[in-house]
Amino acid sequence: MRALVIHAAHDLRIEDRPDPVPAPGQVILRLERGGICGSDLHYANHGGFGAVRLREPMILGHEVSARVKALGPGVEGFEPGQLVAVSPSRPCGNCRPCREGLPNHCMNMRFYGSAMPYPHVQGAFRELLIADAAQCVDATGLGAGEAAMAEPLAVVLHATRRAGNLLGARVLVTGCGPIGLLAILAARRAGAAQIVATDLSDFTLAMARRVGADTTLNLAQDPEALLPYAADKGQFEVLYECSGAAPALAAGIAAMRPRGVVMQLGLGGDMTIPMMALTAKELDLRGSFRFHEEFATGVSLMRQGLIDVSPLITHDLPLDRATEAFALASDRSKAIKVQLTF
C-alpha cells in the first residue's frame, strides 16, 4: 500500500508500506478521504510545533473516513463496503486519567500521526488502515468528505460542552479557520442567540457568514472593530478563541461580560494573558484538548442533518498531488479544509 510520509520540514514522500493484518477486535479499512489539519501543516512546514519535533519518518494524518475492507476475528456490527468515520483517539483505558473518566488526557494515548511520543505514532494517510472496531463509527448516509470532518467537529463539540450553557448566549469566535467555523456551527446548535466572528481574511469571514455568524469583523482592516463590544464591561458571555494569537485573546477578553467563559482552543504556543482584566471581570479561562465520546456525537449530528460541515470542504485532491494539497491548505486566502482522496 501507499502512504504519505513526512521525513522533515518540506520533505513529504509517498512511500510503499506493507499491507496490514488485523488482530482480534480490529478491522482493515480502505481509506476514502483524509483532511489536512493544522498539526499536519506544522509537521510539513516546520518539522513540528513547540517542543514536539520529528525524530523519525512518520505517516501523517488523523482526520479520515474509510470503507470497511475486512473484519478481524471477533468483530461484529460492520460489513464490507460500509462507510465509517475513524476516530484517531486510542486511549489506553488503564492510566489514572482514563480511570477517572478523562480519556482525552490518557497518559499512553496512541493518537494517529503524532510525534509527541517516541517512537512516533504513525498516522492514517495510507491506502489501508488497521483500526480497533471501537474507533469506527457508522457514517452511512454521509459523503466521505463529511465523514472525515468528524474529528475536528468533535474538537469543538468537546469545547462547547466545556463552555456550559449557551442557550441565548452572545458568543464571540476569534479565528475563522476550520475550528473557528465549526465552533460557529456548534454554538448555534447549542442555542447561541448572537455570534460575532473575527479574522484577518475576507475569505474566511465570508465563510463564517455562510455557516451562521451574525456579524463578521476584519481586524486587519480595522484593528479596533471590537472596541464597541467592550462598552459597559463587555457584551459576550462566551469566547471561542481559535486563533492561538495573543492579540486576539486580549481583544476578546476586553469584549467579555463579567463572569463570562473564555474557551481557549487555538494552539499557537504560549501567550501573554491580560490577567488583570481576567481577574477584575471574574472570567473563567478554560482549556479544551481533544475529545472522546464527542466523536460519535458529531457523526450522529451530521447524519441527522443537524450540523452541515460540507461548506467547509473547499478542495479535494488525490494522494499523488499531496504536496500541492499541503501548499493549498496553508493558504487561508483560498482554502478552508483541503482533503486528500484515496
Indicate whether 136 and 29 sit together in one domain: yes
Indicate whether 162 and 94 sit together in one domain: no
What CATH number is associated with residue 42? 3.90.180.10
Indicate whether 20 and 129 sit together in one domain: yes
Map grid coordinates 499523488 to a residue: 320
Say whether pTM exceeds 0.75: yes
What are the contacts of 282-285 at 24+ separation with CB within 8 A? 282/258, 283/253, 283/256, 283/258, 283/259, 284/259, 284/260
Indicate whether 145 and 172 sit together in one domain: no
What CATH number is associated with residue 195? 3.40.50.720
Indicate whether 20 and 104 sit together in one domain: yes
Domain of 229, in residue numbers: 155-287
Does residue 263 fall inside a structural domain? Answer: yes
Query: Is the distance from CB of 148 to CB of 34 less than 8 angstroms?
Result: yes
Indicate whether 161 and 203 sit together in one domain: yes
Helix then strand then coil, in percent of the chain rounded to 5, is 30, 30, 40
Number of domains within the chain: 2
Indicate whether 263 and 183 sit together in one domain: yes
Does residue 313 fall inside a structural domain? Answer: yes
Indicate whether 31 and 122 sit together in one domain: yes
Instruction: Print pLDDT tens along the chain (342 aa).
Output: 999 999 999 999 999 999 999 999 999 999 999 999 999 999 999 999 888 999 999 999 999 999 999 999 999 999 999 999 999 999 999 999 999 999 999 999 999 999 999 999 999 999 999 999 999 999 999 999 999 999 999 999 999 999 999 999 999 999 999 999 999 999 999 999 999 999 999 999 999 999 999 999 999 999 999 999 999 999 999 999 999 999 999 999 999 999 999 999 998 778 889 999 999 999 999 999 999 999 999 999 999 999 999 999 999 999 999 999 999 999 989 999 999 999
